[in-house]
Structure 1
Amino acid sequence: MDAYIFDAIRSPRGKGRPDGALHEVTSVALSAQILDALAARNGIRGPVIEDVIWGNVTQVGEQGGCLARSAVLASGLDQAIPGLSINRFCASGLEAVNLAAQQVRATGGAFIAGGVEMMSRVPMGSDGAAIAVDPSLAMATRFVPQGISADLIATEYGFTREMADALAVESQRRAARAWAEGRFAKSIVPVRDRNGLMILEHDEYMRPGTDMATLGALKPAFQEMGEVMPGFDKVALMKYPHLERITHIHHAGNSSGIVDGAAAVLVASKDWGEAHGLKPRARIRAVARIGTEPTIMLTGPVPVTERALAAAGLGIGDIDLFEVNEAFAAVVLRFQQAFDVDPARVNVNGGAIAMGHPLGATGAMILATLLDELERSDKTLGLATLCVASGMGAATVVERL
């Protein structure tokens, strides 16, 4: 049995700071708004959804205690619909969709999958992580922060500061063009307060005037923690001794932005869609996940793409469009290098460098962006993939119908 995408929506992304537009909105409230919007758009009433699978990375405080179930109860969905919170770090939103697809293939029915992250309210890392705080595990795995890993990728594969900055400038340009041309209009659900007043209807983090000179003035963000205190470069070089030193090229302007946001995808069988008068937009051809070397950490998009393509019976040249999460510029540069992919096919409407990366939601967001662009440009096959903390990757191949 095949799994199909019937709809995919997202909130605008707000700056992940106390002065961000979404800061006063709780994780549960934003999730409930997105769930209600998806239900309204598709006429979902009663206990017709098998489960809500909701990605969320920092599962503590208001995002703890099975946020997925709390979101269902806060929304207008039937209380008979359960909720499942999952955490595959940055790929949580996409993994939620992948899990839904696999359940549809096994048993049919319909699932709502996606995720949320309110980074202005629940700080990244505030839940702790054994790989970072347990000395025995940290040393055994040669743990370093993600920024060091991104600079390690740049050093290992020969990416310069100029290459990273150029990718960031292009991400900003593409995102500004996409908004100006209404390319996100089909998927965006404006966030309103309880009185119906508009809070945010546009991605807030963007800096469309960014240029090479602006980025060139920024200091590398991870050089001090790498070279001085606590000296993570030495830890990374224990795993990669063939490198003489790590070149630090990443900064706030060529790394993903800290933002708030949520996204949801309706995944179901064709029979369920026909019974409810809904037409599928895409078929999920293949899903994949993988573990990778944890020090360099962020190289997962390459091997997981190979695994997903093999499962779909496709080659890299068969894919029309790619969404590769812009966690750091080097992640995308490595993907393009590994597959010799034309950059014009990758993140054609910008990415997380321009618009931000709300950890648990991003995977579902880029899948929605991919589907919208396949439809807009009359193309057929797309692949979405993300690197994942502690060395993992996730990918999904979709076919527009």
Structure 2
Amino acid sequence: MRDAVIVAAVRTPVGKRGGGLSGIHPVDLAGHVLKALLDDPAPVEDVIFGCVSQSGEQSWNVGRNAVLAAGWSETIPGTTLDRQCGSSQQAAHFAAATVISGQADFVVAGGVESMSRAPMGSSAADAMPFGQAVRDRYRGVEGFADGAQIPFSQGIGAEMIAQRWGLTRAVLDEYSLASHTKAAAADFTDEIAPIAGVTHDEGIRRDTSLEQLAALKTPFKPDGVVTAGSASQISDGAAALAVTTSEKARALGMKPLARIHTAVVTADDPVIMLTAPIPATAKALKRSGLSIDDIGVFEVNEAFASVPLAWLAETGADPARLNPRGGAIALGHPLGATGARLMTSMLFHQRAHGIRYGLQTMCEGGGMANATILELLE
């Protein structure tokens, strides 16, 4: 029976908006992680890359252009997909499905986003991405801004989650501070391919405090609880994983690091938007036959602090196993790259601590979520 295993994973440091990676073209960021991923790209049959703002410098198929930027053979194809924040996690799912089905034996999955150069929302700058039928369906629904070009607001969704689960400003700020504290104590060296003199994630605030977080404004609601401090950072970065079968890995003399044990996707309310990781986790556990207690580490993307906190409340997972090295609040969230970045970081954490099962999930625009269970093979 064919399976899907990861034989290599790497990421760039995550750069701050306007920071050390902002001067690098996103195609060159993507090409950099491809070069760092494999010494010999000869086995690669396809490259699947996630990218959200596919406009300007991120248009015209980043996945294919990354292959050329990496100096890989012109015969290696590439494609680009958009499942919003989960784009590169979905790329890994598609790569796994491709090798399991036998359509190919070796596929690279990854993603890139330069939010400094292709700002969030830039792909819809001159267009209305929601037609009249969508507006008619949700007109009058709380949280839906009918007059706006993009009427679904992640920030409002984060506020709605905080209200529904009774999450106070103090709780969100405490969670956010913990994200920075954990990230500051972590060592990501082995998973990072430095570029342009940038060797470490730039967003970690080692000197932040509850007092500083408490002083921030609530931009989404005047009486709200969500701030920039309890939201993911606008960032630049890229990440990639090499996916093949156990049989092909043996033939190539490569060591499988982890098996993509389970891969699912689901959707939920598009207005609150950020709750789908909860049913995605339930779906992944049911399909895998595992329980929540079987999972040794969880990576739940910190789009906003309210998202993993609501997830914890609903799943009953051990909080000590959640985002043990911090998350996007501290490390940043380069949209199209984050899924592969999370998977890379989770895999390296599993290897460092001998954790058999890890589960990754993330909220996505449109109210969707992917969930992936990795099984360590070492």
After superposition, residues 87-236 of structure 1 pair within 5 angstroms as 87-107=82-102, 108-128=104-124, 134=131, 136-141=133-138, 142=144, 143-178=151-186, 182=187, 184-192=188-196, 198=197, 200-224=198-222
1:131: how far off?
7.5
Q: Deviations 1:72-112 (Å, cap 9, x if unpaired)?
A: 11112111110010000000010000110111111051111
Corresponding position of 2:73: 78
Q: Deviations 1:172-210 (Å, cap 9, x if unpaired)?
A: 0000000xxx3x121100013xxxxx2x11111111111
- 2:161 match: secondary structure: helix
Identity %: 42
Indicate conservation of the 8 Å contact 1:28/1:74, yes or no: yes
Runs (5+) with no aligned partner, structure 2:
139-143, 145-150
1:369 to 342, 345, 351: 345
Q: Which amino acid letter does the alignment assign opposite residue 17 of structure 2?
A: G
1:392 to 368, 371, 374: 368
1:276: how far off?
1.3
Once residues 165 and 274 of structure 1 are traced to their aligned partners in structure 2, the CA distance between those partners, rounded to angstroms, is: 48
1:157: how far off?
1.2
Q: Deviations 1:232-287 (Å, cap 9, x if unpaired)?
A: xxxxxxxxxxxxxxx61111101000000000001100121112110000011100
Superposition CA RMSD, Å = 1.4
Once residues 54 and 45 of structure 1 are traced to their aligned partners in structure 2, the CA distance between those partners, rounded to angstroms, is: 16
Worse overlay, 371-380 or 146-155: 371-380
| Residues 21 and 33 of structure 1: CA distance in aligned 2, closer, same or farther (over 3 Å) | same
Once residues 399 and 370 of structure 1 are traced to their aligned partners in structure 2, the CA distance between those partners, rounded to angstroms, is: 11
1:38: how far off?
0.6
Q: Which amino acid letter does the alignment assign opposite residue 119 of structure 2?
A: P
Q: Which amino acid letter does the alignment assign opposite residue 92 of structure 2?
A: V
Worse overlay, 50-59 or 308-317: 308-317
Q: Deviations 1:23-71 (Å, cap 9, x if unpaired)?
A: 110011111111011122xxx243x211100000000111111111111
Q: Deviations 1:333-377 (Å, cap 9, x if unpaired)?
A: 011100112211000000000010000000000111111111111
Once residues 284 and 88 of structure 1 are traced to their aligned partners in structure 2, the CA distance between those partners, rounded to angstroms, is: 19
Corresponding position of 2:3: 2
- 2:303 match: secondary structure: coil
| Residues 297 and 267 of structure 1: CA distance in aligned 2, closer, same or farther (over 3 Å) | same
Once residues 304 and 31 of structure 1 are traced to their aligned partners in structure 2, the CA distance between those partners, rounded to angstroms, is: 28
Indicate conservation of the 8 Å contact 2:261/2:375, yes or no: yes
1:344 to 320, 323, 331: 320
After superposition, residues 375-386 of structure 1 pair within 5 angstroms as 375-386=351-362
Corresponding position of 2:16: 15
Once residues 12 and 111 of structure 2 are traced to their aligned partners in structure 1, the CA distance between those partners, rounded to angstroms, is: 11
Once residues 131 and 267 of structure 1 are traced to their aligned partners in structure 2, the CA distance between those partners, rounded to angstroms, is: 37
1:140: how far off?
2.2
| Residues 34 and 51 of structure 1: CA distance in aligned 2, closer, same or farther (over 3 Å) | same
Q: Deviations 1:291-327 (Å, cap 9, x if unpaired)?
A: 1111110001110111111121111111110000000
Once residues 22 and 136 of structure 1 are traced to their aligned partners in structure 2, the CA distance between those partners, rounded to angstroms, is: 40
Corresponding position of 1:38: 37
- 1:220 match: secondary structure: coil
* Residues 1:57 and 2:85 are matched in the alignment: no
1:379: how far off?
1.3
Corresponding position of 2:229: 253
- 1:84 match: secondary structure: strand
| Residues 45 and 264 of structure 1: CA distance in aligned 2, closer, same or farther (over 3 Å) | closer
TM-score by length of 2: 0.93
How many residue pairs end up in the alignment? 363
| Residues 216 and 62 of structure 1: CA distance in aligned 2, closer, same or farther (over 3 Å) | same
1:133: how far off?
5.0
1:138: how far off?
3.4
Runs (5+) with no aligned partner, structure 1:
193-197, 225-246
Indicate conservation of the 8 Å contact 2:51/2:81, yes or no: yes
Indicate conservation of the 8 Å contact 2:112/2:334, yes or no: yes
Indicate conservation of the 8 Å contact 2:8/2:38, yes or no: no
* Residues 1:291 and 2:286 are matched in the alignment: no
- 1:206 match: secondary structure: coil
Runs of 4+ residues deviating >6 angstroms: none
Indicate conservation of the 8 Å contact 2:351/2:376, yes or no: yes
Q: Which amino acid letter does the alignment assign opposite residue 352 of structure 1?
A: A
